[in-house]
Structure 1
């Protein structure tokens, strides 16, 4: 079994312990490769027969936020095997952000924009108009409401997933 969290906070200490019965430490070492907005490679430290990945907050503060693909590879010095893969989100280091930082994610930004358009619709009745051979067509209100409902549902699902707390882990069976 292994624990690689689905979110990692930049500026926070990172620890993940992975147990690989087929590739036990210290005979085997693991390397965690993360690729996305940045390049991050972490070598495991043997803890009994398990493997621990660690990075101090002074290191993670420099990790570029964004979505990363990861793989874990095991090696005994000559043989190399891939034992896991997945995706992880590295979040912004909130302590390093300046005043005026917009912490909203994509879903929240789009939902806010859709709701602003719907609110402004109350004062604008035209579906389309033309001025000097240039035309503008507005998205029908029914489509905006449908999009708003879709993004509200997506935002509610994200909130539900996060109720377990930041850095929540998912258990993955590695064979």
Structure 2
């Protein structure tokens, strides 16, 4: 495994490139009753379900910190939160976070019932990652010049979400999975 250096995202963990050339897996070590990629991809579906929750936490952290900042940051003898633009942005963030929570909650209910479908997981991962990265960027903007400093978390979350939106299937892959479900045509 080649370790990846000079990362700007997921800096708290080691990232490596893993190469498996000419690997043969003995029959005794194969997944029982699984043919092709169905078994490994089934594991990905379960992992992707878990990933639908992570971006919600990042979005909430950004939202909470930015809301407190806006309520305490004084501009022209008024808190930043007293402006219509900031209140509209914060209200929209609360709406998008709540929708993502409800989506993942319903997906969990389907998972518990054994009826969760991979396309539903793709939709939730795509939606929740996009929601969180957009909120992190919007929070960074509300924080103004301070938004690019390590004093505040939105820029860190935005950088980490750039990885989350990519791993376990890129946003484009999940869009194509949903597109295939809608049209019945595999475009990838």
Q: TM-score, normalised by structure 1?
A: 0.28
The higher radius of gyration belongs to 1
Which has more strand, going by share of residues? 1
Q: TM-score, normalised by structure 2?
A: 0.27
Which has more helix, going by share of residues? 2
